[in-house]
Structure 1
Amino acid sequence: MIIHTRRAEREDAYELFALARQYTTGRTAISKDDFIVTLDNVLKYRDQETNVLFVAYSDEKVTVRSLDGLVEKSDEPDVRNKVVGYTLMTVSRLLHASGLTAHIQEIVVDESVRGQGVGERLMQVNERYCNVRGVQQISASTARIGSFFNHIGYEPVGEHYRKVLGHG
């Protein structure tokens, strides 16, 4: 399977939502309405380069499906390559480190294509992006795929903690 990467677009919403629902963190999966708001904000503020959303896609063709109006409907169905994974990376400055830093917030590969190099390809495009921007380091937190990060040259440097806040 040949894997390509690019920045995410609104037309990816339906497939991104399906992938995001595969990302399990022990919390309730994101609702469609919350996902639409989040994706819209990530894409709207794309020029500020704080949240960087890449997708991996295969040569398989699929019809673009709308996710509640994020994609405008046309008379002709739009056919495009199938999205099989994504990464969401944040780029920022930290007070304790020189220059820009990046953190992989999410990496999701469709269950049907795991183990076929999609995750590595996504990480390569993130690393190239960071090199061009002058990012000094990339970090990632994981509870399940540490062996993947070790395989591509990352080393463990700490522990990851989380507290779910009970709002509403």
Structure 2
Amino acid sequence: MCVSDSIVTRPARLEDGEYVWPLARAFATSFTPERPAFDATWKQLVDVPGTLLLVAETADGRIVGYLLGSTHLTFLANGPVAWVEEVMVDETQRQSGIGRLLMDHAERWAKSTDAAYLTLASRRAGPFYLALGYEDSAVFFKKTLA
């Protein structure tokens, strides 16, 4: 758990899905999220080993951000690496330090798994990640499988 003056980042619980859904729906740009698929996936991801599912919660109990990450083994890094799949902060709460809290939590988690590095892909928030000390190191390719 990571705490600031008014925000706590913590592992997600099953009941948090209701509040993360609007954030996930707003985050998507390449796909249109469907609620039944989100609900099924949420239930599968909560408490899965090797998966980090965090929420950022205000002092009054509102969920204003989330992060989804995972680890996997690699040959090139001589062991595990960590990947942040999704990070989203409510539009009205951006630039308040919530994204930094979520990423700090993810970095500590990745270190605890002995990951060689933590990586992510971002098209819209490059300056944010550069400010956190990340480096632009690759081009991201994607092929949609319909």
- Using the size of structure 2 for normalisation, the TM-score is 0.92
Q: Distance in 2 between matches of 1:14 and 1:37?
A: 12
The CA deviation at 1:163 is 1.4
| CA radius of gyration, larger in | 1
Q: 1:12-23 residue pairs with structure 2 within 5 A?
A: 12-23=16-27
Q: Deviations over 1:44-86 (max 9, x none)?
A: xx25x222101111112xxxxxxxxxxxxxxxxxxxx111101
- Using the size of structure 1 for normalisation, the TM-score is 0.81
Whether 1:41 and 2:44 are equivalent positions in the alignment is: yes
Say what the alpha-carbon RMSD is for the aligned residues: 1.2
Equivalent pairs, count: 142
Partner of 1:165: 145
SS of residue paired to 1:157: coil
Q: Distance in 1 between matches of 2:36 and 2:72?
A: 27
Q: 1:118-133 residue pairs with structure 2 within 5 A?
A: 118-133=98-113
SS of residue paired to 1:5: strand
Quick one: which amino acid aligns to residue 40 of structure 1?
K
Q: Distance in 1 between matches of 2:123 and 2:113?
A: 28
Q: Give the gaps of 5 or more residues in structure 1.
A: 61-80
SS of residue paired to 1:36: helix
Q: Deviations over 1:93-128 (max 9, x none)?
A: 112211210000000001110110000000000111
The CA deviation at 1:3 is 1.2
Identity of aligned residues (%): 30
Q: List structure 1 segments (4+ residues) > 3 angstroms apart after TM superposition.
A: none
Partner of 1:5: 9
